[in-house]
Structure 1
């Protein structure tokens, strides 16, 4: 795999009961950061993996029924998360961003897309199609806010399902293949089904020679992977497909056990993010 630079940065957070994200978890509310991957490609410039929260999320959840989303998962979005201020704080020139990769279309992963609407969007056709289906109540129940994804994004979409399928390095076993979204072997989309329609992760190799699997919301925490502890059925049935979710969790657990140098980064796990930031090879 061609090596790329990578940073894993929080952009906003939400609070909800830990028990809804892992079987046997505490009923107390826990902060869940929304992580954004900043990928420095040697030829393509900067690509983002998801966008985290954005003030647009507050505007989009002002009215009912979308406001239910904000009620059930209270969100923290400070003024420092305004797009121009946040991106400048990361030392990124917006002109250097060449595309955005979306793991899935839940609001906490796409809230910043309006700032990137003219750029190539790499995503799953199944996820975008599901977002565009009618029914506001249905969308809110599934964590979808269609207004966060401008129509211009649809026009720029390049779908994972249509990218060439190639073999993954052994470091990702039992995941064996991915979709080569740039055509150079650097960024391989890996389907991680169950959380919602069109849910994918991303496999990459960093410049310091670490293999990473960005797992998005296939799990909410590294602990869930280590202990094979899925969310309660209520959570997975509400958002997606429980049997598929648990099969994906089993495969992530196998990857963790077999490949101790593989870093698996869920999108909402502060502990895994901190270990990665500290340079630990075991991101799980």
Structure 2
């Protein structure tokens, strides 16, 4: 199974916010990445990152425009996942499924570009945001206009994980029953956040979404600044999940971990 990371633009954040003890007043780029897997069942995406056309339209009205003030975004239509895949000869209707790690805007902005794709997401993650509007949505970094109107009809919504355990995270969900793609619960940053543990032609990879903003945070067990709790689900769970990732990375150096917003390149 092949695997490729794609970058759809970036936002700016204060280093001290994404990494506790980081430099205050120093802006760092946080790329919005998505992943493409060529699985025997079809092409699978993990998130969609930014899609300029949809994102800027969804954030054009108050109070949603405050999203772009809090996290200034730099992207273009040419950087959207759909545009990048099209340049590689992959049409939008060739995407079999999209795994939604969580419903923050920088992970779902491109969902509408793939009208034939099946969605896979956490049930509690969707329930948490689907009826939120205005400041209630903004508090969860959710822009309602980004969600396709038929999302629930096209989705498999996961409630219980009963598959093989991945210590220390608990049971997983084996997406196709072949052990290649296993979903992992990573609570804290967003309700129902999912990670993806995958066996690929490049080795074992673990996409951890926003359970950490960078690999340095995992290596050093350094959570984000408490100010980020303004838009995260549960601050204590953020720290607990990061501690598990730190222990996992130390015990399994052969597994390459991918936080969505990390700027580090592959070793």
Q: State the TM-score bracket (shorter-chain normalisation).
A: over 0.9
2:159 alignment partner, SS class: helix
Q: Residues of 1 paired with 2:78 and 2:33: CA distance?
A: 15
Equivalent residue in structure 1 for 2:151, among 150, 153, 156: 153
Q: Residues of 1 paired with 2:106 and 2:10: CA distance?
A: 9
Q: Residues of 2 paired with 1:84 and 1:188: CA distance?
A: 25
In the alignment, which residue of structure 2 is the partner of 1:132? 130
TM-score of the pair, normalised by structure 2: 0.94
User: Are the structure 2 counterparts of residues 94 and 249 from structure 1 closer, same or farther at C-alpha, using a change threshold of 3 Å?
Assistant: same
Q: Residues of 1 paired with 2:11 and 2:123: CA distance?
A: 27
Which protein is richer in helix relative to its size? 1
In the alignment, which residue of structure 1 is the partner of 2:6? 9
Equivalent residue in structure 2 for 1:110, among 108, 111, 114: 108
In the alignment, which residue of structure 2 is the partner of 1:35? 33
Matches within 5 A, 1:122-271: 122-162=120-160, 165-168=162-165, 173-208=167-202, 210-271=203-264
Structure 1 runs not aligned, ≥5 long:
none
Map Cα deviations across residues 210-264 of structure 1 (whole Å, 9 max, x no partner): 1111000001000000011001222135322111111100000001111110111
User: Are the structure 2 counterparts of residues 20 and 260 from structure 1 closer, same or farther at C-alpha, using a change threshold of 3 Å?
Assistant: same
**Cα distance, 1:90 vs structure 2:** 3.9
In the alignment, which residue of structure 2 is the partner of 1:49? 46
TM-score of the pair, normalised by structure 1: 0.88
**Aligned Cα RMSD in Å?**
1.6
Number of residue-to-residue matches in the alignment: 265
Q: Residues of 2 paired with 1:81 and 1:73: CA distance?
A: 18
Equivalent residue in structure 2 for 1:20, among 5, 14, 17: 17
Contact map agreement 1:236 1:245 (CA 8 A) in 2: no
Contact map agreement 1:118 1:152 (CA 8 A) in 2: no
Single out whichever of 176-185 and 217-226 deviates more from structure 2. 176-185
Structure 2 runs not aligned, ≥5 long:
none
**Cα distance, 1:173 vs structure 2:** 3.7
Q: Residues of 2 paired with 1:84 and 1:158: CA distance?
A: 22
User: Are the structure 2 counterparts of residues 115 and 238 from structure 1 closer, same or farther at C-alpha, using a change threshold of 3 Å?
Assistant: closer
**Cα distance, 1:84 vs structure 2:** 4.5
Q: Which runs of 4+ in 1 moved over 4 A?
A: none
User: Are the structure 2 counterparts of residues 134 and 82 from structure 1 closer, same or farther at C-alpha, using a change threshold of 3 Å?
Assistant: closer
2:6 alignment partner, SS class: strand
2:231 alignment partner, SS class: helix
Contact map agreement 1:117 1:152 (CA 8 A) in 2: no
1:165 alignment partner, SS class: coil
